[in-house]
Amino acid sequence: MTDVVLLEKGYLCHGASGRNGGGVRMQWGTATNIALARRSIELMKGFAAEMGINIWLRQGGYLFLAKSNAVAQKLERSAELHNRHGVNTRLLSLEGARDLVPGLSMKGVQLAAFNEEDGVIFPWAFLWGYAKALAKHGVKVETFTRVTGFELGDGRVKKVITDRGEIACEVAVLASGAWSPQIAQLAGVHLPNEPHRHEICSSEPLKPFLGPLVSVLDSGLYFSQSMRGEIVGGMGDPNEPAGMELGSTMRFLARYSQALLEQLPTLGQVKILRQWSGPYDVTPDNSPILGRTPQLPNLLQMSGFVGHGFMMAPAVAERMAAWMCTGHADELFTRFNLDRFAAGRLEREDMIIG
């Protein structure tokens, strides 16, 4: 396919892709997500050579901490699953975790899990690299272009209508994350995704001392150190209702700082330089919506990745492109189809941060 147009309502990185912490991990609760994440990280490792842009991939690992019995048991089950699928996740004692991150208090922690191949990249450069390569291949990337409707006929999408004109199409792909339900509604399609604000912040740069991204899975706390030295972290708020509110709050800073200092007290005097938020794209089973829309088969869905769409995007998009262009069957786009919710056929993922 050579006649391709990509529409973005703002600037590149305007949405969730430019608002996340850049974490990429293979530690998941299902075999499918493990395989997708492995492929994404493989693509990221070769990205600089292939796309000509440095994405600052740093594979310092992910260190998960569990406080409750239930979360500790989840880490044990997950580690066994990871090992069966070729991911070398190790369960660690409290002392083992402190060896990885000196200064961790491990207060209230029962168990830790670590995979050294997980890591962090710089999200903006990653998206810019794809955009640069798309332009080189003749793809038209139209920024500041808002979709306002669709022209439908004969059970298909015939045109995408924007505030800058209409585009006739053979296939339309809806990959707008937490904004996807709004756009789908323009075509009379209901998606069950809900946006949930997740706040995040970045500190002044410090000398390198933190190897892995650390996450307390019980509370949703996570923090890592960028290659420029900042401590970048966030924490979900289970009491906040769904909604596309992307402002910043003092409540987040208070909760985040308290949880962060409980585990790493040495950061008590660090200055916060920047705070922002982005939307998780949450489905009823924490798994994505992929494949053909039942009533509009040429409208393809690719959303609902909760907080891990950024890290799954390379692998999922690679498979969708092959599926679209060759017509070869791929169970990913039938198993995660939109109609699974009506059929009660959920595909639950429970290893979610936040």
Q: Distance between CA 107 and CA 20 in Å, rounded?
A: 27
CA distance 14 to 312: 19
Contact by Cβ (8 Å): 223, 231: yes
- Asked if residues 4 and 140 have their Cβ atoms less than 8 Å apart, the reply is yes
Confidence tier at 177 by pLDDT (50, 70, 90): very high
pLDDT digit string (tens) for 119-147?
999 999 999 999 999 999 999 999 999 99
Average pLDDT over residues 8-32: 95
For the chain, how big is the Rg over CA atoms in Å?
20
Q: How far is CA 276 from CA 14, 149, 271, in A?
A: 12, 30, 15
Domains and CATH numbers, the chain: 5-16+136-193+285-343 (3.50.50.60), 23-121+196-279 (3.30.9.10)
What is the pLDDT, as a whole number, of residue 142?
Answer: 97
pLDDT of residue 266: 95
Does residue 74 carry a pLDDT above 90?
A: yes
pLDDT in the model for residue 354: 79
Confidence (pLDDT) at 93 = 95
Over range 82-101, report the average pLDDT: 97
Distances (CA, A) of 35 to 53, 75, 287: 25, 18, 14
pLDDT tens by residue, 198-236: 999 999 999 999 999 999 999 999 999 998 999 999 999
Sign of the Cα pseudo-torsion (54, 18, 45, 136, in order): negative
Q: What is the mean pLDDT of residues 161-169?
A: 98
Distances in Å between the Cα of 78 and the Cα atoms of 2, 23, 26 are 41, 18, 11
pLDDT at 3 over 90: yes
Contact assessment for residue 138 and residue 299, using Cβ atoms and an 8 Å cutoff: no
pLDDT above 90 for 327: no
Q: How confident is the model at residue 1 (pLDDT cuts 50, 70, 90)?
A: confident
Average pLDDT, the chain: 96
Q: Once rounded to an integer, what is the mean pLDDT over residues 254-280?
A: 96
Q: What pLDDT, on a 0 to 100 scale, did the predictor assign at position 82? A: 97
Tell me which amino acid residue 32 is: T
Phi, psi (deg, nearest 5) at residue 314: -60, -45
